[in-house]
Structure 1
Amino acid sequence: MATSKIKKGDTVRVIAGKDKGREGKVSSVKNGKVVVEGINQVTKHAKPSQANPQGGIVQQDAAIDVSNVMYVSNGKASRVGFKIEDGKKVRYAKATGEVID
């Protein structure tokens, strides 16, 4: 799979779906999906376990497709591009031109 433009720890804004306009930090990226803290909350019924001896109904973050989020650079949603800088491939925000990493 190609290099992902969104990575763990990035701040992103949701651009489609029920949470459109909300921002959060990416907690994981896998198979073209991202999990953003506090976004796309779903209700799960959990059986009692060692970690959760009570069980019951729990809220947790569900994955969103990576195409439905945009990287946020200085409070502005931006597309992400790649360029070679000092012989290294780096990500940069197209709206501001700022190098991300």
Structure 2
Amino acid sequence: MSRTARLTLMLWPFGMGAVGVNLFFASLIGSWVGLPVIPPVWAAIVSIPLGLPPTWFFARYIVGLMEQAEEDRPICEADRRSVSHQPVRQVLMPKML
């Protein structure tokens, strides 16, 4: 299973919840112009399949950020030695004369 697919499955419940809430609130706004209000249970049921595509797009975005971060990481020991390992205090607050 690919990294994107695993992340999509982990985030899918949150995507479903977001779609369900947005669908219900959109129906409340639609009631101002005379459209019927969708019951929360129907919004939750409809959000099950509708939550998958936005979650997949979000997972692809996150995986892209993860891959970009992995590219910036030093790979070999020679690269690690070239990185400064000074304590943060010395870098942020150099010794005063």
Q: TM-score range by the shorter chain?
A: under 0.3
Identify, as 1 or 2, the structure richer in helix. Answer: 2
TM-score normalised to structure 2 length: 0.25
Q: Which has the larger radius of gyration?
A: 2
Q: Which has the higher strand share?
A: 1
Higher relative contact order (CA 8 A, sep 6+): 2
TM (norm. structure 1) is 0.24
